[in-house]
A and B are shown apart, each in its own frame.
Chain A
Amino acid sequence: LKRAVGAAGVFALCALAAGCGGDDPPPPPQPGEVVLGTAATDGSGFLTLADDVTMVAGAQGGFHVWMKYRLKGMSGLEVHVQQTARRQRDNVLVSIGQRQVDVGAPGADGFWETPLATPIFLCPTPIGIVVADEPLNFQVEITTADGEALGTGQARAVPHCPADQSTFCNNICRG
């Protein structure tokens, strides 16, 4: 009984300390704000990246999801952008891309928006990895050239093959 009481005491102390037990500390606040979005099939506009999105035929027979993002608090900076997509159910990395971006002057709402949509390359997929009709977590991390975090944006969406290329698309988007 003494052991049980002792263990409970240690657990309580750990819980109070909010650091014992392996929980990661909350990330430090980042100075910038990032909002992820997507675009129409022709790459125009700024649409919410959520729920169901239709993949776009792209690189030499591949398929991708358009990504756009709006940044706040980073104007005038040359930033490093890393965009990733991971499958929600097992966190498997299905796409990664990096860019250097010159953030321009903000609009009236304080946000600067990427002028062109960039492709999140999804298909052909890595071997054995199904992407079509799978919930994916999209993330964009913005850092300075020195690696200092400026902001992170996330979104969840389910990419689908376009109806007019369903057979070919599903062939290369299902591992």
Chain B
Amino acid sequence: MRDAAACGCLTPPDPTVPIVQAGEKILFGIQNGIVTAHIQIQYSGKQATDFGWLLPLPSVPTLELGTDELFAQLYATTQPKYRQLLAYVGNCGFAQNRGGNFGAPSSSGAGGGDSSGENNTVVIQDSIGPYDYAVLHADSKDDMLKWLSDNHYFVPAGTDDVVGPYIHQGAYFLALKLHSGETTGDLQPVVVHYASDLPMIPLVLTSVGAQPNMGIQVWMLGQGRAIPRNYLHTVIDDTLIDWPNAGANYNDVITKAVGEAEGKKSFVTEYAGTSQVMKNVLNAPGRFGSIADLAAQTTPSAFFQYLFAHGYAVLTQSRGGPIGGGGFQLTSQAKAVLAHYVPEPSALATKGISADQFYQSYDYYTGTYRQQNPGDFTGWTMNFLPDMMAQDLKTKVVDPTLAAGAMFDQSPYLTRLYTTISPEDMTKDPVFSYNPGLPDVSNVHQATLTYYCGWFGNSQQATTPAQLKTEQGFLVDFPHGTGTAGTYVPSPDLPGSLRTEILREEGAPEVVSDNSHRISNVLSGDSDSGCSTAVGRTERTAGVAFVMLAAVVFLGLVRRRKGSR
């Protein structure tokens, strides 16, 4: 199986090989009619020669290398986070440890052919970083497809049909593939600049190799909040969120919610607000030190230590914690450069010693360790060229990272949009625009689970009546407790979306459908899923709470009367 994440179209060498595009991550910025698109490509095919990638463009683009750190940081910083607070009414014996909810440990909530192409089809043919690329005229489908075929960019069945809308006079295609000898792990993000007022994702073309419910993650920088211009907008029903488990079912909720929109074409805004959340994340003052100083290091160990001391290693967060078990790690681009000159011996990697460990403790591994394990270094060679290494790092790491960071300084507002969509629904290319009048959207969400333990106390958390108040204000009852299963099973009758609406380039949202009443009705209705953590009746807990409150008042009055006698 191959996984890829980028916009455009993956073109495997064999049309019969099923290709699967798992997702797309793109950051768009627009300045003076020039769109800058940072595109993350993820592909897990076994051979570099299997990789090919196509992107239709309105004009001859300029191409630069990007950095995967951008997406790691951007993803973590703006990621939706669902936190559940716990509250206790009455004498809750289990409240002291304040750990459990739904019978499970509480979550922190941290969301956590290489032919030369001697014809008029080719505009540019060059290489950059690990890629060979070509910009092709797209005014003739036959010529373009022939060139791709001649150059081993085999086009999967179906592409012939979907490529049609992108073929016209003055149009271009960017074709990308890896150098021979590169590994698929070298898929560095690319940055494409092209003239256009509004960015678009060529989903119709993508449909050829996409997987069901493919995730599309878009960030838009600008002067105000970004909107999907020709797709609907969905606000999810937050009663479906698995609050006790930090929104672990988030992606399923998104799929259900956008699936309710007409044509299943809708985006969810996950974050809309200041871009300052990314300030100095990528381009902190002094980061990377000085290339001249780096090039002046005289030993490999000193060279590597300089890297670790000057921001070439980062702590990258993702859902569930730091990638790779935590700690500071060199970016994949930095490691790719180092591996070219001073590779980690394969025997060490086989033993589970990471490249970061090897470079960080280079003297140990090439000294004491090597003396004790000489066999691990059999055949190992290295070529320490600090000048060239420093220049390579500048080109592939420093410049792309600082340029990406500068985008957040130039544009004050950042919007994160997300959807999932299946190939059969990819019949329209989404275009993104702006409506600065729309309000901010926080990526941090909070609900409160309140346990009602009663006057006489309750030490069994699992069976204590409880009520969840979601951020949208809905009350979800657990009259028989939250159970011990540790899972949250909302009613299947609940809709996925709170609202589906149209966002225009000015004015307030136009509501297409509003499920508020339906959600309230389901929550207060007679339907009972029968699960221990089923959504129950809103009135039931309210009634219980009222009775308990009345009992407290009554007992208080009785005591006062007794005291006055």
Q: Could you tell me which A residues sit within 8 Å of B by CB distance? A: 41-42, 57-62, 64, 92-93, 95-100, 118-121, 124-128, 165, 168, 172
Contacts and interface: CB of A to CB of B under 8 A. Distances in A.
Contacts of A125: 229-230
B502 A128 contact: yes
Contact of B196 (A60, A99, A100): A60
Contacts of B223: 98
Nearest to A60: B200
Interface of B is mostly: loop
B399 interface: no
30 contacts: A57-B168, A57-B169, A57-B171, A58-B196, A59-B58, A59-B197, A60-B56, A60-B196, A60-B200, A62-B198, A62-B431, A93-B505, A96-B505, A97-B33, A118-B33, A119-B33, A119-B196, A119-B197, A121-B196, A121-B197, A121-B431, A124-B230, A124-B428, A124-B429, A125-B229, A125-B230, A126-B230, A126-B505, A127-B232, A168-B165
B166 interface: yes
B159 to A, nearest CB: 14
B512 to A, nearest CB: 9
Interface of B: 32-33, 56-58, 164-166, 168-171, 195-198, 200, 202, 204, 223, 229-232, 428-429, 431, 433-434, 502, 504-506
A134 B33 CA distance: 25
Given A96-B506, A100-B32, A124-B229, 15 more contacts: A42-B170, A58-B58, A61-B56, A61-B204, A92-B504, A93-B505, A97-B198, A119-B195, A119-B197, A121-B196, A124-B431, A126-B502, A126-B504, A126-B505, A127-B502
A127 B195 CA distance: 24
A168 B165 CA distance: 7
Contacts of B171: 57
Contact of A57 (B170, B195, B200, B433): B170
A59 B506 CA distance: 22
Given A126-B505, A127-B502, A128-B502, A61 B230 contact: no
A42 B59 CA distance: 12
Contacts of A126: 229-230, 502, 504-505
Interface-central residue, B200, B202, B223, by most chain A CB under 10 Å? B200
Contacts of A61: 56, 165-166, 200, 202, 204, 429
Contacts, number: 85
B200 A127 contact: no
B429 A60 contact: yes
Contact of A121 (B166, B168, B198, B504): B198
A62 B170 contact: no
Contact of B33 (A57, A96, A99): A99
Contact of A172 (B32, B232, B428): B428
A165 B170 CA distance: 14
B229 A59 contact: no
Contacts of A120: 197
A145 to B, nearest CB: 14
Contacts of A99: 32-33
B230 to A, nearest CB: 4
Given A124-B428, A128-B502, A168-B165, A59 B33 contact: no
B277 to A, nearest CB: 24
Contacts of A42: 170
Contacts of B165: 61, 168
Nearest to A162: B168
A165 B433 CA distance: 24
Nearest to B222: A98
Nearest to B200: A60
A14 to B, nearest CB: 31
A57 B170 CA distance: 8
Contacts of B204: 61
Contacts of A95: 197, 505
B166 A97 contact: no
Nearest to B201: A60
B411 to A, nearest CB: 12
Contacts of A62: 58, 198, 200, 429, 431
Contacts of B33: 97, 99, 118-119
A42 B229 CA distance: 26
A97 B434 CA distance: 10
Nearest to B194: A59
A80 to B, nearest CB: 11
Contacts of A121: 196-198, 431
Contacts of B230: 124-127, 172
Nearest to B434: A96
A62 B202 CA distance: 10
Closest 4 CB pairs of A and B: A59-B196, A59-B58, A57-B168, A124-B230
Interface-central residue, A59, A93, A99, by most chain B CB under 10 Å? A59
A158 B173 CA distance: 30
Contacts of B200: 59-62, 124
Nearest to A100: B32
A120 B197 CA distance: 8
A44 to B, nearest CB: 12
Interface-central residue, B431, B505, B506, by most chain A CB under 10 Å? B431
B538 to A, nearest CB: 35
A56 to B, nearest CB: 8
Contacts of B232: 127
Nearest to B196: A59
Contacts of A172: 230, 428
A41 B502 CA distance: 32
A60 B170 contact: no
B471 to A, nearest CB: 27
A60 B170 CA distance: 11
Nearest to A118: B33
Interface-central residue, A58, A64, A165, A172, by most chain B CB under 10 Å? A58
